[in-house]
Amino acid sequence: MLYHLFDQFGSGIPGAGLFGFISFRAALAVFVSLLISLWWGKGIINLLRRMQVGETVRDLGLEGQMKKQGTPTMGGLIILSATIIPTLLFARLDNIYILLLLVATVFLGAIGFVDDYIKVFKKDKSGLSGKFKIVGQVGVGIIIGATVYFHPEIRTRVEVPEVLASQLAESELHTVTEEDGTVHYMLNRKSPNTTIPFIKDNEFNYSSVLGLFGRNARQYTWLVYILVVIFIITAVSNGANITDGLDGLATGTSAIIVLALGVLAYVSGNVIFSEYLNIMYIPGSGELAVFIGALLGSCIGFLWYNAYPAQVFMGDTGSLALGGIIATIAILVRKELLIPVLCGVFLVENLSVMVQVSYFKYTRKRFGEGRRVLLMSPLHHHFQKLGIHESKIVSRFWIVGIILAVVSIVTLKLR
């Protein structure tokens, strides 16, 4: 909003030109989101406490678990508001990437809110039916996948030699001139490409998979791409939801992932950095840094209240939205194949539940009694059962998350 106001009416106003810089607006987004989450967050927590919107805890025999009974939940409202408001203030609202993230945030936040509302106010511990959650996540996946595939403004560009550029139509080219006068000729492409980590010349086209079934099969690439996007958004969203089981675990882990994605988004949207790193240049994606800055600030601000011992829980309102947003950002910057590394904590938490449930059902059918691989799933509860204190488990998961984030960023050059 402010970008457009200063762009139209800011001539002659000292400092108005700063709003043309993504880095400046991203820094403002971080600062304002921190203020909102810290200042407004306290008010929301008090409101939730007065409304008796408290967590209902089942006794699973975990140390300190029952002390969480009655702690205000639905704190994801703090994260969502502290993300959306700075984005509306500082981001370019005509940017398709920003619009997609706002849609994903509101949509997934609403699904989580309904789930929490049913649990808290309707006193139904099961919350929103799992099939309705999946339908909502699939709906977001269809919107994101179809838009990325078909929208004319979402393109990638590759640099071409000047000799080849002279043979191409002017509409196919985008010219970038550096400060020293160097001219870069960029070829506009509308293709379902992504990036394969750790591989040189690492672009992968989804249509190449269908090419194995004949040239005519390539016309269905859009369907394969949308199905992949649906799977990614659903998996990461549920992974964040499962990880949200200890004070500060999902919030801190998400903040680490978001910071890494901010680096990836910024360099992917900058023609100079993308050329130097020899990575895919995605015009307009640099604007994602503003949204990511707001999301990072909101996570850090929320962590102030969510760290052990938690004064508020994010609930599904926050966890479902956080996971879906992270997946959407990775898809938009064409780094979705990096998710198993970057979101490794979410992945392991997800797998721990799947392995535990599958093995229990298999052994019950095979031997007549269910057996377990872990003492309890998800994985963080297994460590609690081993007698490790909650805060130490969270700290160690954060350390693992930091290592994975560093590895993810290093993939920009390590191939």
Q: What is the pLDDT along the chain (415 residues), one digit of tens a residue?
A: 777 776 676 666 766 677 778 889 999 999 999 999 999 888 999 988 888 777 766 666 676 666 777 788 899 999 999 999 999 999 999 999 999 999 999 999 999 999 999 988 887 777 888 888 999 999 999 999 999 999 888 877 655 555 555 655 555 556 656 555 666 666 666 667 888 887 776 778 787 777 667 777 778 888 999 999 999 999 999 999 999 989 999 999 999 999 999 999 998 888 788 878 878 888 888 899 999 999 999 999 999 999 999 999 999 999 999 999 999 999 999 999 999 999 999 999 999 999 999 999 999 998 888 899 999 999 999 999 999 999 999 999 999 999 999 999 998 877 6
Partner residues linked to 158 by β-bridges:
187
pLDDT at 161: 59
Q: How many CB atoms lie within 10 A of CB 49?
A: 15
Report d(CA 361, CA 147) in Å as an integer.
Answer: 40
pLDDT at 166: 60
Task: Outline where 2-95 has alpha helix (H).
Answer: 2-9, 22-35, 41-50, 76-90
| Cα distances (Å, whole numbers) of residue 383 to 89, 240, 343, 350 | 42, 18, 20, 15
Could you tell me the two tokens for 236?
A: 């990461």
Say if residues 27 and 297 touch (Cβ distance below 8 Å): no
Task: Outline where 55-128 has alpha helix (H).
Answer: 76-90, 96-121
